[in-house]
Amino acid sequence: MSNKDPVAAAAIRYKPIQSAVPGTTLGPIQIDAFLGAGKMYDTPGVHLHHRQAAVVHSEDLPALAPQSRLRARVFPNSQMDVDKQMADRVRSSGLTGFTIFWGGLVRIDVQKALRETRLMFYGPNAVQVHIVPTEEADEFYNREVCVLLTPPTGKEKAEAWTGLETKRHINLKYTNIERPACDVAVSGLGWISVEPVDITLKSSDHSVEEGFGELDFVVHVPKPVEIFVRSPMPVGKAGAKWYEYRELTEAECEIRPKWFF
């Protein structure tokens, strides 16, 4: 538009054209950006009640918007901020019996996993990941929500925060340890790639047995937020090594949205 209309070219210097945070348009905004006195209106988008943005305070919305290229945060890892006893327990038994908090918005209880299982978190860097033993998870969340576990932020918001009311049990059956078992997507935040066995470890550790197995997780989120289990998304060079194209099955075609032209 600014290439053809001098008024639009001048207006772009002083008026924001795009917000860094989605869902911030509360009402129609009139924009005078045409030489012929025409007007353009920016209108609010569709409210999606199942996304994290619908449950957090407006002040916390910037934390949900990625500010840079998404990079995986891997758990467990050698840089975890835990004491020596807890680190030794993770090394010996893996993530089983631990709870991972993704900010104050997501809680993952690992009920069954291999010692080599790892979780890869893809989402905004402003939402930090913390790990505690499951038996301490309730007390830890009640104490640290709005403080260490953010968003939500600020003790004044803690009283109105209803917590993680939705609970979903996820049982994953895997048949190939050369690739992630699935992605667990949290609407409006990001996704967690579940690797039954660390793919980089598998190439050098032949003690890991091939075959079938299962993993058990319980995922907690705020009440309206939805959780999706989907096929793993190939990310980066590691994803290129295991990704294989395949046609949709008949069952997948049946549930896929239909388009009519």
Residue ranges of domains in the chain: 6-42, 52-242
Residue 257's pLDDT is 72
DSSP single-letter state for residue 254:
H
166 touches 221 (CB < 8 A): yes
End-to-end Cα, the chain, rounded Å = 30
206 pLDDT exceeds 50?
no
Percent of the chain predicted with pLDDT > 70: 83
Q: Report the range of poorest mean pLDDT among 135-149, 158-172, 193-207.
A: 193-207
Question: What is the model's pTM?
Answer: 0.79
250 pLDDT exceeds 50?
yes
36 pLDDT exceeds 90?
no
Overall average pLDDT of the 71-76 stretch: 91
For 78-89, how does the pLDDT look when each residue is reduced to its tens digit (9 = 90+)? 778 788 888 888
List the one residue out of 120, 43, 18 whose CA is nearest residue 77. 120
Helix (H) or strand (E) holding 140: helix 137-144
Kindly state the tokens that stand for 45: 């988008």
Percent of the chain predicted with pLDDT > 90: 43
List the one residue out of 11, 78, 87 whose CA is nearest residue 42. 11
Neighbours of 184 (CB within 10 A): 22
At residue 124 the predicted structure's pLDDT band, cuts being 50, 70 and 90, is very high
Residue 130's pLDDT is 95
Which residues does 53 contact at the CB level (< 8 Å), separation at least 6? 22, 23, 61, 64, 188
